[in-house]
A and B are shown apart, each in its own frame.
Chain A
Amino acid sequence: MGKIPQSSKILGLKLHPTWQNYELDKYLPLVLEISKRKKWGVLTHSGVKEPYVNIGKSIKIADKYPEVPIIFAHLGNGFSNYKDVLTQINYLSNTKNCNTLIDTSSLAIHLSGLLEESIKKIGSKRIVFGTDLPLHLPESQLSRITHGNIKDLDRENILYKNAISYFPSLKGEN
């Protein structure tokens, strides 16, 4: 039986616990251990109250693997009102390491102030740009970042600098 292919175009692993009905924190230690060995990152579906994705527990596990960048997807996804939309960010603000990131691919990203408040709480260096294309209109997702009331340096961090920093292979560096 063969192995997962080795390719320079593979950045890491994608998990979708909510779709597949398993608890992320139960399997995350092994996923991160393998990712550490392979020098992969991890992208997982997440949300404000998404079933099977306990960000608090997952962050504590991720803290033990500071070499592995893990992106929690969909900033503000599944919010019920403005009071809970920063739930993911609040969890991220409690971590001791900075390998836990969040991406902007979300319908909620269009809420007034969400991006700006997120930067205030965790800084722009832990936020990466994502579109969820073609499920979302990528131009619309990009517009929220380019037109956000944020500093140009924060914009650059989110749009590309963080990606290169956490994943040097994207620019051919290891």
Chain B
Amino acid sequence: MMIIDMHGHYYSKNLYPDWVPYGLDPLLKWTENPNIEIVVLSSLDVFERGMGENQKLLQICENNIKLWQWISIDPRIHYWWEKSPNLLKY
């Protein structure tokens, strides 16, 4: 049966304890399941490191047919929709 996972995450080392999986490996392992058609991801790093992490995730998604993206935003930033994720920092 086809499966679409609408809520996954990408993040780098040190956001959570070392024993929590992070990065691309757990995502690729999950998508090895042939029934997994799509996984839609947001970057949790954005909330700690700035919105440039969105761009990093976008490149990952564009290089993997099964990965899609939710863009993480801070709606308190004025005109957030006009700004490039790689230029914004909190």
Contact = CB atoms under 8 A, between A and B. Distances in A.
Contact of A160 (B2, B16, B30, B72): B2
Nearest to A41: B70
Interface in A45-91: 71, 73
B68 A170 contact: yes
Contact of B70 (A27, A43, A133): A43
A22 B20 CA distance: 27
A174 interface: no
Nearest to B21: A134
Contact of A164 (B4, B8, B61, B74): B4
Contacts of A30: 75
Contact of B84 (A3, A19, A129, A142): A3
A100 interface: no
B75 A5 contact: no
Given A3-B84, A135-B9, A14 B76 contact: no
Contacts of A5: 55, 58, 84-85
Interface size class of A (residues with CB under 8 A): 35 or more
B1 to A, nearest CB: 6
Given A9-B67, A11-B69, A34-B81, A134 B9 contact: yes
Given A15-B73, A132-B8, A160-B37, A10 B3 contact: no
Contact of A22 (B21, B76, B83): B76
B47 A19 contact: yes
A3 B71 contact: no
B71 A10 contact: yes
Interface string A150-174: 0000011001100110000010000
Contacts of B8: 130-134, 138
Interface in B7-23: 7-9, 16, 20-22
B73 A159 contact: no
B82 A3 contact: yes
B88 to A, nearest CB: 9
7 contacts: A1-B83, A10-B71, A19-B47, A43-B42, A131-B5, A159-B1, A159-B3
Interface of B: 1-9, 16, 20-22, 26-27, 30, 37-40, 42, 47, 55, 58, 61-62, 67-76, 81-85, 87
